[in-house]
Structure 1
C-alpha cells in the first residue's frame, strides 16, 4: 500500500494527493497519517510546494466530507426517528433526544465540525450528523475547510520535519487513535447506562 501511495504522489503530484485524500474518506487502508507526511517529505526533497500540497490535501478531504454530508441528508430525520422508535430503547435513545441534538447542533454545529477534524476516528464521519441535522452547506464547507487546512498543514509539516522518518507520524497517531477509541467506547457505555437508568426512573413516576 505504501509503495502504491508513493507512486501516486510521484506520478500525479498535487492531483494524486487530492485523489488519495478523497479515497481516504471511504477506504481506511489509505490513511491521511501516511499520505500527508509522505507528501511533506516530498516537499523536503524539493519536488513539491508546501502550500500547494496542503491545499491539495484539504481539497480532497473536504470533497469526501461533502459526500458524507449528503449521505446524512439522504438518511434524513424521518428514517432516523423511525429507527429510534423501533430500536432506540436498547441504547436509551428517544425522539426527544433527536430534538435536543438538533437544537444543540444548530447552536454549536460549526464548532463541532471544526474541532472534529482533529479527532482520529471521528473526523471522517462528523459530516453525517451535519447533513442529518440540516446544517447549511456553505457553513459546513467553511468550517470543514478551516479545520482540515490546519490538520493537513500539521501532518504535512511533520513529514517535512521528520524527512525519511515520516512514518513515525502514523505510529504516534495510531496510538492516539486507540486511546481516543477506548475512551469514546467507555464514555458511550456510561452514557447508555445513564440514559436507561433515567428512563426507568421516569417510567416509575
Structure 2
C-alpha cells in the first residue's frame, strides 16, 4: 500500500509500473523457493535421524492432506494470497504434492495480481490516507484468523471423535 502511495506521489522516483513489477517478482520468487523446498522436504523428513523431524512425517495424515490439496489446488492457490496465515504454507504443499509448476506459477500470478494489485491500487488512490487500508486489513485479518481458528478446532474435534469411535 505504501509503495502504491509513494509511486503515485508527485515527484516520486518510483513509477507505478516498477512497483507492480517488483511486487510481482518478489512474491513469485518467494513462492517458488518455498515450492521447491516443499518438493524436497518429504525426502528429508522420511530419512531424518532426528526424532522430532521424523515425528512430523506421518504417512496417513500427509497422504490425506496431499489428496485434499490436489482436489482443491485451483481454489486453494488462488485464495491463498488473501490470508496471511495460509499463503506461506500453500507453496510448500504445492511442491510436496508435485503440482505442475507452470500451473502453480499461473494460478499464483493471478492471486498476486488480485491481492497485491488491490493493495497497490488502494495505496495509490487513497494517497496520503493509505494507512486507512491498514485499519481495514486489521479487521479483515481478525475475521479470517477467527474463521481459520474455528476450522482448525472443528478439524481437531473430528479427529478426537474419530479416535473415540475407534476405541469403543
Answering whether residue 113 of structure 2 is matched by residue 153 of structure 1, we say no
CA RMSD, aligned part only? 2.6
Show structure 2 runs of 5+ residues with no match. Answer: none
Alpha carbons of structure 1 residues 51 and 87: separation in structure 2 relative to 1, 3 Å: closer
Extract structure 1 runs of 4+ deviating beyond 6 A: 82-85
Deviation of the 1:87 alpha carbon: 6.7
SS in 1 for 2:85: coil
Alignment of 1:2-17 (within 5 A): none
Does the Cα contact within 8 Å between 2:39 and 2:95 map onto a contact in 1?
A: yes
Q: Which residue of 2 aligns with 1:50?
A: 16
Show structure 1 runs of 5+ residues with no match. Answer: 1-36, 89-93
Aligned length: 163
Structure number with greater CO (CA < 8 Å, separation at least 6) is 2
1:193 and 1:187 mapped to 2: Cα distance? 10
Alpha carbons of structure 1 residues 58 and 116: separation in structure 2 relative to 1, 3 Å: same
Alpha carbons of structure 1 residues 75 and 87: separation in structure 2 relative to 1, 3 Å: closer
SS in 2 for 1:123: helix
Q: Which residue of 2 aligns with 1:202?
A: 166
1:11-62 Cα deviation digits (max 9, x unpaired): xxxxxxxxxxxxxxxxxxxxxxxxxx11111232243333332222011111
Q: Which residue of 1 aligns with 2:37?
A: 71
TM-score, reference length from structure 2: 0.82
1:115 and 1:134 mapped to 2: Cα distance? 19
Does the Cα contact within 8 Å between 1:113 and 1:126 map onto a contact in 2?
A: yes
Q: Which residue of 2 aligns with 1:4?
A: none
Does the Cα contact within 8 Å between 1:84 and 1:95 map onto a contact in 2?
A: no
Match of 2:75 among 94, 111, 121: 111
